[in-house]
Amino acid sequence: MKTKSKKILSLVLASIMLLMTLTACGKEETSSTGNVKGNGDGELIGVSMPTKSLQRWNQDGANIEKALKELGYKVELQFAENKIDTQISQIENMITKGAKVLVVGSIDGTALSTVLESAKDEGIKVISYDRLIVNTDAVDYYATFDNEDVGKIQGEYLETTLGLKEGNGPFNIELFTGPLDDNNVNYFFGGAMKVLQPYIDNGQLVVKSGQVSKEQAAITNWDEQEAQARMDNILTANYTSEKIDAVLCSNDSVSLGVQSALKSAGYGTEDKPMPVITGQDANIANVKAIVADEQSMSVFKDTRALANKVVEMVDAIIKGSEAPVNDTTTYDNGVKVVPSFLLEPEAVTKENYKELLIDSGYYTEEDVSK
């Protein structure tokens, strides 16, 4: 073959190869997170969730596992049934098995320093999931919803519904939040009280039990029965002759407990309607309660979006690229400010639940009908 024809042939071949490569790139299959599938190279990712007893953590765990597997990662998913020791030994086990990244939804944000130090010594990266892990530098990223915003949305809902800005009142209100070892509680309760405190101070809101501090409003492990028992006591001691107009509940499990106590005390009838009650998570039982006018609102935190964000973080860590972060100032864990990605929570009510929860495919209509 003449040199000129050889050159042309190799040029043609090179172009064909380039074209093939480009076409292959264009055809790469992507996962639900938009990441290229199959790039995880079988690395092990440990996912430690606090408990199966609450609907949301089951969804979180399942969503993260699915998305990671789609990317080619192996996943060790464990639920710790709200027992701190169980969570610690499950994490130790993940370290022993060779996990490269740990995704941890902590039970007690203060209790993981020692186990996470040993993860750090092994070069394992740690993502704090939904709840901030505190008092350790062995946490690399934090993925969550804007927790202060959750509280603010609840507070503002009460403010609007009761017409507090217009000067209405006085109204009787009681306050319920989560456990003090869940760092989120500081933001949930704090965010809500920023809105409500001025109305307590000026007398438009009256807390007849006198229990206004976070410590007094706290419910261990977000436990429904404990919330119910506390509400039973408050009703018996303070509301035999007066009615209660509103209850701030930081989440849905607490809200359900409060609703049970109220119903036992005769609320939920035409003469004695349920007070205005908040919640958080848009759990199925609570969406049903919203439809039945027993709960007024919840705060929707799309666990699919949070799981996808954390999977993007994991993938970036493994590939050595930049993990997504949109807040580098808010979440000081006592040792460092943890680079965070905050997603936006939304109020869900009887008016918008179909659009937010059904149309988006989060639930089916059957899920939330009686």
Minimum gap (Å) between residue 64 Cβ and ligand BGC: 15
- Cβ-closest residue to ligand BGC? 251
Exposed e or buried b per residue across 220-237, where buried means at least 16 C-beta atoms within 10 angstroms of its C-beta: ebbbbebbbebbbebbee
Which one of 47, 107, 115, 131 is in contact with ligand BGC (CB under 6 A)?
131
Minimum gap (Å) between residue 54 Cβ and ligand BGC: 5
State yes or no: residue 280 binds ligand BGC (CB under 6 A).
Answer: yes
Q: Which residue type, as a one-letter code, is found at position 156?
A: E
Nearer to ligand BGC, 153 or 318 (CB): 153
Nearer to ligand BGC, 149 or 281 (CB): 281
Q: Given the rule CB under 6 A, which of 86-94, 159-167, 177-185, 344-352 is the region that contacts ligand BGC? A: 177-185
Nearer to ligand BGC, 251 or 260 (CB): 251
Minimum gap (Å) between residue 51 Cβ and ligand BGC: 7
Which one of 73, 171, 187, 222 is in contact with ligand BGC (CB under 6 A)?
222
Nearer to ligand BGC, 54 or 318 (CB): 54
Q: CB atoms < 10 A from the CB of 71, how many?
A: 24
Minimum gap (Å) between residue 82 Cβ and ligand BGC: 9
Nearer to ligand BGC, 255 or 260 (CB): 255
What is the sign, positive or negative, of the torsion defined by CA atoms of 266, 272, 276, 280?
positive
- Put the strands of the sheet holding 340-343 in their side by side order: 74-79, 44-49, 101-104, 125-129, 141-145, 340-343
Minimum gap (Å) between residue 145 Cβ and ligand BGC: 7
Nearer to ligand BGC, 90 or 147 (CB): 147
Minimum gap (Å) between residue 356 Cβ and ligand BGC: 16
Both structure tokens of 79: 């639920």
Site map 295..324 versus ligand BGC, x via CB under 6 A: ------x-----------------------
Nearer to ligand BGC, 70 or 181 (CB): 181
Site map 21..60 versus ligand BGC, x via CB under 6 A: ---------------------------------x-x----
Which one of 130, 140, 223, 224 is in contact with ligand BGC (CB under 6 A)?
130
Nearer to ligand BGC, 150 or 173 (CB): 150
Minimum gap (Å) between residue 148 Cβ and ligand BGC: 12
Nearer to ligand BGC, 130 or 294 (CB): 130
3-state secondary structure the chain: CCHHHHHHHHHHHHHHHHHHHHHHHHHCCECCCCCECCCCCCCEEEEEECCCCCHHHHHHHHHHHHHHHHCCCEEEEEECCCCHHHHHHHHHHHHHCCCCEEEECCCCCCCCHHHHHHHHHCCCEEEEECCCCCCCCCCCEEEEECHHHHHHHHHHHHHHHHCCCCCCCCEEEEEECCCCCCCHHHHHHHHHHHHHHHHHHCCCEECCCCCCCHHHHCCHHHCHHHHHHHHHHHHHHHCCCCCCCEEEECCHHHHHHHHHHHHHCCCCCCCCCCCEECCCCCCHHHHHHHHCCCCCCEEECCHHHHHHHHHHHHHHHHHCCCCCCCECCCCECCCCECCEEEECCEEECCCCHHHHHHCCCCCCHHHHCC
Q: Given the rule CB under 6 A, which of 12-20, 178-186, 258-266, 360-368 is the region that contacts ligand BGC? A: 178-186
Which residues of the chain form contacts with ligand BGC (CB under 6 A)? 54, 56, 130-131, 178, 182, 184, 222, 251, 280-281, 301
